[in-house]
Structure 1
Amino acid sequence: MNIAISGASGFIGRHLTAYFTERGHRVIPLARPMFREGMLGYLTQALSHCDVVINLAGAPISKRWTPEHKRELYDSRIRVTHRIISALNAVRTKPKVLISASAVGIYPTEGDSDEYTNTRGGGFLADLCYAWEKEARRCPSQTRLVITRFGIVISPDGGAMVQMLRPLKLAKIGTAIGPGTQPFPWIDIRDLCRAMDFIIHNESVSGVVNLVAPQQVSQWAFTKAMSKAYNAGLTLIVPKFVFRFMYGEAASFLTTGPSVRPTRLKEMNFRFETPTLEKLFSGTDRTTVDELDLKRYLGRWYEIARYDHRFKRGMSEVTATYTLLPNGTLRVENEGVRNEEGKKIHKKAIGKAYVPDPAFPGRLKVSFFLWFYSDYYVLELDTVGYNYALIGSRSDKYLWILSRTPHLPEDIKKKLLHAAAQRGYDTGKLMWIEQI
């Protein structure tokens, strides 16, 4: 499918782009210049061959709401949506579906709300969401319209969680926003991507869909669970007057909040992979393979994808060759090419490896410098032909997809990406390595 995304460079947009690209779809980013005056023709042309349009564009809400920023919040949502609708009306062959983002801030802060709640909240944020959705409802009838109301989207690499993690990582102190009892409607970014995919492929879905986890928690409960997962020594509630001083009127979306249920997703039997805080903060599954025949593992492996890190930054054509030594340990030879000042420079590093515990044959220790060893976990392995593998470590900083050949079939890539995602890895961070 061809999937056009406005706001593709943002936090959610980047994850959705990676998610759909990994599944073989073509993502067309709708860049900001397309929404300027006089650019309707270019926008119409961009949408003319699209099956799906996802409208995510919008300036960040977590800033002081000055009159200027309120105008930016409005224009970046309503005007962009207006231009998308105008382009859709001009397109001869209409996209099958338009998914237009909104937020749970449209709901009242009293009581529980779901998609069947007819009343809306008061204040600027609720009014903004209402105007945003009203514009999206002008969608041409030939295109199925779904309005997705996002909760707070959770991922350690962006969004609200990054801000929440700063004091925790710096001082091992978790900080909840006062009063702490306010509802905290949230959703894991991976479930959000899966829900979007679910909506696209289920033609019966239209109208409003809440993208929030089924577990309803308070701001304090979320922060407490996060603090425990990151080994914080203390969790504090910061009084809400602090946020009022910092954000002014905008503090209202932090110190209050609606209690929201994903009723329609549950009615459609959508399966959340991260329905609870326990699951969200349970950590990455680093279970290794039960069996590993070192003799079959020997030889050359091509690096198909990896999390970027300073040791291999900028390197392509990377391989790792394993040789069994007489003492039972392994010789590891890493090779690759780095482009330096327009020239390809060949790099090589020699290391050693061994299995420290025969009861866990998939866990190796690898060293490229003296006695400093790192963990090397064989997470997934083609046990029939030893043709591909998914490799991790004790830390979530490292992840590799390896193959016996320079190029891996698409179905195997998808299989390994799915396995990594199921284990809790952020597959959007993987770099695909150029091989000859």
Structure 2
Amino acid sequence: MISLKMLSYSALILVFIHVIYCQLPSHKDCPQVDPQQNFDIKKWSGSWYLVEAYQTKFLKDAKCVHHTFSINPDGSVAIELKEIDSETEKSSTLKGSAKVIGDNDDGALSINIFNRSFHGVLNVIDTDYQTYSLNSLCKKDKSKKNLTQTMVWIEARKPQLPDDLKQKLYKVMEQFGFKTGLLMKINQKDCS
């Protein structure tokens, strides 16, 4: 027969695993993040593969996650997010828009994802435009008792990113208080 003590330990282990592997909403303020200065939206636009990210309900079973940012004639940015559900192998596409906010030379964009009624500010924290982009998004949801959801992710122009470059980006993340242990790797294999 299972003892109460054993059940308590099991419950504690499950909570610990959940905290490690999931980004939980909190009542804390959004972390202070300085977007990249001298940001060039034209160089940054194009196709990006999601390499690692904080786990969210949207990424739970996702693989082959790919983002495309295109500049519209009016200067706004069209967003297309594609992914494949790893369980059903069904692909899905989300569309949205973005525009640079604040100073035109920093990497802060106001985004709107249409299919999910999602609005927020995307901060491009660090990018070299040709290889990687480290991004964050924080949203305070007033409808849910002011819970704050913070997301951070690493994108690359190719499906994989060298480990030494990931280590560099982890250090940048830590400078802003992001927990690198909460990142999950995104499967970019068998993405035909």
Instruction: Map Cα deviations across residues 125-154 of structure 1 (whole Å, 9 max, x no partner).
Output: xxxxxxxxxxxxxxxxxxxxxxxxxxxxxx
- 1:391 corresponds to: 135
Q: Give the aligned partner of residue 177 of structure 2.
A: 424
Among 126, 151, 154, the residue aligned to 1:380:
126
Deviates more, 1:314-323 or 1:367-376: 367-376
CA–CA distance in structure 1, aligned partners of residues 82 and 56 of structure 2: 15
Is the CA contact 1:318–1:335 (under 8 Å) kept in the aligned structure 2?
Answer: yes
CA contact (8 A) 2:37 2:105 kept: yes
- Counterpart Cα distance in 1 of 2:102 and 2:158: 30
Is 1:411 equivalent to 2:164 in the alignment? yes
Q: Deviations over 1:237-264 (max 9, x none)?
A: xxxxxxxxxxxxxxxxxxxxxxxxxxxx
1:63-142 equivalences in 2 (<5 Å): none
Letter in 1 for 2:72: L
Asked if 1:286 is matched to 2:33, the reply is yes
Higher strand fraction (1 or 2): 2
Instruction: Tell me how far apart the structure 2 counterparts of residues 421 and 328 of structure 1 sit (CA, whole Å).
Output: 33
**Hey, what does 2:70 align to over in structure 1?**
323
Unaligned runs of 5+ in 2: 6-18, 21-25, 140-148
**Structure number with larger C-alpha Rg:** 1
- Stretches of 4+ aligned residues off by more than 4 angstroms: none
Partner of residue 51 from structure 2, selected from 295, 304, 323: 304
How far the C-alpha of 1:409 sits from its partner, in A, is: 0.6
Where does 1:17-416 land on structure 2 (aligned, <5 Å)? 157=19, 230=28, 284-340=31-87, 343-359=88-104, 361-369=106-114, 372-382=118-128, 385-395=129-139, 397-416=150-169
SS at 1:407 equivalent: coil
Match in the other structure for 1:44: none
Q: Which runs of 5+ in 1 are unaligned?
A: 1-67, 70-156, 159-165, 170-229, 232-282
Distance in 2 (CA, whole Å) between partners of 1:358 and 1:284 is: 19
Contact 2:133 2:155 (C-alpha < 8 Å) held by counterparts:
yes
CA–CA separation in structure 2 for the residues paired with 1:294 and 1:422 = 24
Query: Aligned residue for 2:11?
Result: none
Distance in 1 (alpha carbons) for counterparts of 2:168 and 2:53:
16
Note the C-alpha offset of 1:357.
2.2
Pairwise CA distance, 1:372: 5.0
1:15-66 C-alpha deviation (Å, 9 max, x unpaired): xxxxxxxxxxxxxxxxxxxxxxxxxxxxxxxxxxxxxxxxxxxxxxxxxxxx
Cα distance in 2 for partners of 1:392, 1:372 equals 15
Cα deviation for residue 406 of structure 1 reads 0.4
Mapped to 2, the partners of 1:327 and 1:358 lie a distance apart of 17
Q: Compute the RMSD of aligned alpha carbons.
A: 2.5
- Give aligned-pair identity as a percent: 27
Write the distance in 2 (CA, Å) between the matches of 1:327 and 1:315: 32
Deviation at residue 292 of structure 1 after TM alignment:
1.3
- Are 2:94 and 2:114, in contact at CA under 8 Å, matched by a contact in 1? no
Q: Which has the higher helix share?
A: 1
Q: What's the counterpart of residue 27 of structure 1?
A: none
Q: How many pairs does the alignment contain?
A: 158
Q: Give the 3-state SS of the residue equivalent to 2:151 in structure 1.
A: coil
CA distance in 2, matches of 1:311, 1:410: 25
Q: Which residue of 1 aligns with 2:186?
A: 433
**8 A Cα contact 1:322 1:330, kept in partner:** yes
Higher RCO (CA 8 Å, separation ≥ 6 residues): 2
**Contact kept? 2:33, 2:176, Cα under 8 Å:** yes
C-alpha deviation, 1:360, in angstroms: 5.4
Q: 1:415 to 1:312 in 2, by over 3 A?
A: same
